[in-house]
Amino acid sequence: MTVVARRAPSSRDLGGTLYVFAAGLVVVVVVGGILFSVLLSAFATSWFGGWFPDGYTDRWFRAAITDFDIPQILLSTAFITLAVAAVAVVIGVPAAYVLARRRFRGKAVVQILLLLPLLLPPITYGIPLATMLYEFRLAGSAAGVIIANLVPALPLVVLLLTPFFEQIDPNLERAARVLGASPRRVFTRVLVPLAAPGVLAAALTVVVRTLALFELTFLTSGPDSTTLVVALYYAAFAPGIRPSQQIDAMAVVYMATSLVLLLAALRFVNPTNMVVRVRR
Amino acid sequence: MSAPAARHEAAESAPALARRSRRGLDPTLLLIAPAALCVLGLFVYPFVYGLALSFQPYGDNEANGPLGSYLAFFGDPRERLSIWNTLRLAVPATFIDVAVALPLAYRLRRPVPGQRALGALFVIPMTLGTVLIAEGMLQFFGPAGWVNKSLLAVGLVHEPVRFLHNYLGTLISLLISDFPAVFLLLLGYAAGIDPALDKAARVLGASWWQRTRRVTLPMMAPGIAVAAALSFVATFSVFPSAVLVGNPAGETRVIAFAAWQAAYERFDYSEGSAIAIVMGVIELGLVAAALSLRAGGYRRMRTEGAR
């Protein structure tokens, strides 16, 4: 049996560790407090003076489901996020493959163009984009919302998948070709199985991001093409019209949807990939 | 079989590339065309379209020539003020988030108990989104919310603090929702710093403060600049939280709200585009500065043999 000698942590090290845990505690208190008070309020009959609600009920959910037409919103949210992910994957995967395997003139320009929509805040390009979509009579429909959300989704797929294709050994493709596989067979039998986990992760990241992205859907959606987050904004934007518990119930629906997706995503995705790391 | 054979080549040498270009276009490159067209049509073209539109003033602004929409924005004190309103949110939010995240990211290079859980914890607010955070703040930070109840119970205040529908509420929501991105960016940079450098400085007798000032901070500088620039760009475009927990008619009438109001409440798409272009120019300038700084930082690090 070997004994591993451990260096005693210095006091500075301890200070750093304490700082990390203190910051973690602040996040738990603030974010946990926000989420938990929404959750309690959504189930509260009323909540005025006390630390906790006066009683519990599910009637705000029933009211929210009919008043905000939650089934319809969930349906259009699912349709829009999945469509954005599907289109972004179909267009983005070949582009990522080319960027990983080829050098060509203008590659740097293409890469910068693909980076910019991720670095610029959506509201900045969203206003001209929405104006253009209104001009083409696309805004207000699901198609318009999907097109607008593609702008950050497509670069995200390309950026996530380029390093993924880079680490797939090109010798595997060469070997398959030497053994007589046609290009299509190389694609379906070699590349697709190898790339599938990365593509799935990228698609899930797009779904999670599109679900949380407010601005583009807000600027382009119509009554039948809102997503949950925009519906929540409209509900919270008009306080006083509906009881706050009912808005909180809506927020809980949004939270639950995000949570389910996030748990699904975390099985396949490294959480740090949810944002683009500029440093590669 | 010659064209398809060229298709699945690995990254090629320069002579191979030259040979290829003499032979004509590599068909594989066509695979990138849809993505390139998408970005051109949906990102570049709208900007050009918006730019053109911003020089075609609408309504009353038409009398002031092609610059009418810009003149209307910069000429109206209330509109102009939106830039200041945005800056006084974005600058402190960026500064505080970077200051809090920097030691955190630097310490998390080395393992702490519960590393993975802590990392995930700091990233959670990003997945919630600004709207949910702002909506949740209405209860938590409200006059009867847990924050005010605790402050009253401890005796720090004698009447509820107004956290909502003002500058403070918007700043808090920005601090929460912007933090994860800053943290992740800095974490990426901190992870790239060789721990041996710190160790070497320690062996040579440098104190903690000397190591921080002479080793860590200079190494982190490009990362700090990039994180600060991107954080500023993100907070500069604050919109939903300025409305939900701010006072969009007054102190938190931010520039994104001004642009939205022009385009979608007054239906003056020209002025809306003009304001969006002003925003875009400020942000693009910062992004360009951050990216060039990053390139400079890399060069310096490589020549100094830091890696």
A151 Cβ under 8 Å from any chain B Cβ = yes
Q: Which residue of B has its CA nearest to A21?
A: B118
Q: Boundaries of CATH 1.10.3720.10 in chain A?
A: 60-274
Distance of alpha carbon A48 from alpha carbon A120, whole angstroms: 42
Contact present, A173 and A191 (Cβ < 8 Å): yes
Contact B8 A37 (CB under 8 A): no
Q: Which residues of B222-238 are buried (b: 16+ CB within 10 A; e: fewer)?
A: bbbbbbbbbbbbbbbbb
A98 Cβ under 8 Å from any chain B Cβ = yes
Residue B45 is predicted with a pLDDT of 94
Residue A203 burial class via C-beta count within 10 angstroms: exposed 0-12, middle 13-18, buried 19 and up? buried
Tokens standing for residue A105: 């003139």
Contact A102 B26 (CB under 8 A): yes
Distance of alpha carbon B307 from alpha carbon B281, whole angstroms: 35
Q: Which DSSP state fits A10?
A: P
CA atoms within 13 A on the CB side of B154: 8
Residue A247: CB partners within 8 Å, gap ≥ 6? Answer: A232, A235, A236, A239, B135
Q: To the nearest whole angstrom, how far is the Cα of B59 from the nearest Cα of chain A?
A: 17
A53 Cβ under 8 Å from any chain B Cβ = no
* A131: nearest CB among B119, B234, B263: B263
Mean pLDDT value across residues A20-36: 94
Q: Which residues of B53-69 are buried (b: 16+ CB within 10 A; e: fewer)?
A: bbbebbeebeeeeeebb
Which stretches within chain B are classed as H helix? 2-7, 14-23, 33-39, 45-54, 68-75, 77-107, 115-128, 130-140, 146-154, 167-191, 195-203, 208-211, 217-236, 240-244, 255-260, 269-303
A94 Cβ under 8 Å from any chain B Cβ = yes
Distance of alpha carbon A272 from alpha carbon A279, whole angstroms: 12
* A117: nearest CB among B39, B136, B138: B39
Within its chain, how far is the Cα of A117 from the centroid?
15
Contact A120 B269 (CB under 8 A): no
Residue A44 phi, psi dihedral angles, 5° rounding: -85, 135
Residue B109: CB partners within 8 Å, gap ≥ 6? Answer: B187, B190, B191, B193, B195
Contact A99 B50 (CB under 8 A): no
* B10: nearest CB among A28, A117, A170: A170
Q: Which DSSP state fits A139?
A: T
Distance of alpha carbon A154 from alpha carbon A278, whole angstroms: 16
In three-state secondary structure terms, A239 is strand
Contact A151 B12 (CB under 8 A): no
Q: To the nearest whole angstrom, how far is the Cα of A127 from the nearest Cα of chain B?
A: 7
Contact B234 A121 (CB under 8 A): yes
Reported as a single tens digit per residue, the pLDDT across A192-222 is 888 888 899 899 989 989 999 999 999 999 8
What are the pLDDT tens digits along chain B (307 aa)? 344 444 444 444 555 555 555 556 778 888 999 999 999 999 999 999 999 999 999 888 888 888 999 999 999 999 999 999 999 999 999 999 999 999 999 888 888 888 888 888 888 888 888 999 999 999 899 988 999 999 999 999 999 999 999 999 999 999 999 999 999 999 988 888 888 888 899 899 988 889 888 888 888 888 898 899 999 999 999 999 999 999 999 999 999 999 999 999 999 999 999 999 999 999 888 888 877 776 655 444 444 444 3
Residue A16: CB partners within 8 Å, gap ≥ 6? Answer: B103, B106, B107
To which residue do tokens 């003002």 refer?
B166
Distance of alpha carbon B199 from alpha carbon B197, whole angstroms: 5
Reported as a single tens digit per residue, the pLDDT across A124-144 is 999 999 999 998 999 899 999
Q: To the nearest whole angstrom, how far is the Cα of A27 from the nearest Cα of chain B?
A: 7
* Entry pTM: 0.86
Tell me the chain A residues in contact with residue B8 when contact means C-beta distances shorter than 8 Å.
101, 170, 173-174, 177, 183, 186
Distance of alpha carbon B297 from alpha carbon B289, whole angstroms: 12
Within its chain, how far is the Cα of B18 from the centroid?
40
User: Which fold is adopted by the domain A60-274?
Assistant: MetI-like fold (1.10.3720)
Q: Which residue of A has its CA nearest to B29?
A: A98
Residue B277: CB partners within 8 Å, gap ≥ 6? Answer: A128, B47, B50, B51, B54
Contact present, A198 and A164 (Cβ < 8 Å): yes
Which stretches within chain A are classed as H helix? 11-42, 59-67, 70-101, 107-119, 122-135, 142-166, 170-178, 183-186, 192-212, 215-220, 228-237, 244-266
Residue A252: CB partners within 8 Å, gap ≥ 6? Answer: A38, A39, A42, A61
Q: Which DSSP state fits A226?
A: -
B287 Cβ under 8 Å from any chain A Cβ = yes
Contact A129 B42 (CB under 8 A): yes
Contact A183 B46 (CB under 8 A): no
* A91: nearest CB among B34, B236, B260: B34
A141 Cβ under 8 Å from any chain B Cβ = no
Residue B285 is predicted with a pLDDT of 87
Distance of alpha carbon A126 from alpha carbon B276, whole angstroms: 9
Contact A279 B189 (CB under 8 A): yes
Residue A11 is predicted with a pLDDT of 62
What ipTM describes this predicted complex? 0.85
Contact present, B272 and B264 (Cβ < 8 Å): yes
Residue B194 is predicted with a pLDDT of 84
Q: Judged by CB atoms within 8 Å, which residues 152-181 of B form the interface with A?
A: 176, 180-181
Q: Judged by CB atoms within 8 Å, which residues 64-83 of A form the interface with B?
A: none
Distance of alpha carbon B250 from alpha carbon A155, whole angstroms: 36
Q: Which DSSP state fits B183?
A: H
Whole-angstrom distance between the N-terminal and C-terminal Cα of chain B?
44
Which residue ranges form the domains of chain B, and what is each CATH number? 31-303 (1.10.3720.10)
Q: Which amino acid is at B185?
A: L
